[in-house]
Amino acid sequence: MRVVAQRVKSASVKVNNNLISSITNGLLLLVCVGKDDSSEDISYLVNKIANCRIFNDAQDKMNLNVQQINGEILSVSQFTLYADIKHGNRPSFNKYLADVNKAKNYWKDFNQQLSQLVTVKEGIFGADMKVELINDGPVTIIFDSKEFL
């Protein structure tokens, strides 16, 4: 499982010009389920993301996690995070979980587990979304469960 986390002042998702979800002060997560992922990958990344200290404390040091700042998370599915451009210039996507229903369920499980720790709002799985954000920092962290498990 691969997640790109961006620290944001605000973020929102629209589909067909309709606002689907929005947050203030927290994390925008772009989430991709890999073809070899399991519930272990989900649990690991939920814990890692919820506890990652990337928010500033009173001394302006990155020392607080999203829970400690009462932040929110906006989770957006994005299969292109597993794009492979090693051969040629057109990306191939053979590393993401191609079973759409299974990938959606994994993404939902990830969001549900995360929502036990912090407020989570979602985009729409598989939709053509317009994502707007105001970066804070910017601070961007790439989490890949296969690098840790």
Residue 56 confidence class, pLDDT cut points 50, 70, 90: very high
Q: Is the pLDDT of residue 114 over 90?
A: yes
**Residue 99: its pLDDT value, please?**
86
Q: Are 27 and 49 spatial neighbours (Cβ–Cβ below 8 Å)?
A: yes
Domains of the chain: 2-148 (3.50.80.10)
What tens digit of pLDDT does each residue of 19-48 get?
999 999 999 999 999 999 999 999 999 999
Residue count of the chain: 149
For the annotated catalytic residues, the residue numbers are 80
Cα gap 2→49, rounded to integer Å:
11
Residue 97 confidence class, pLDDT cut points 50, 70, 90: confident
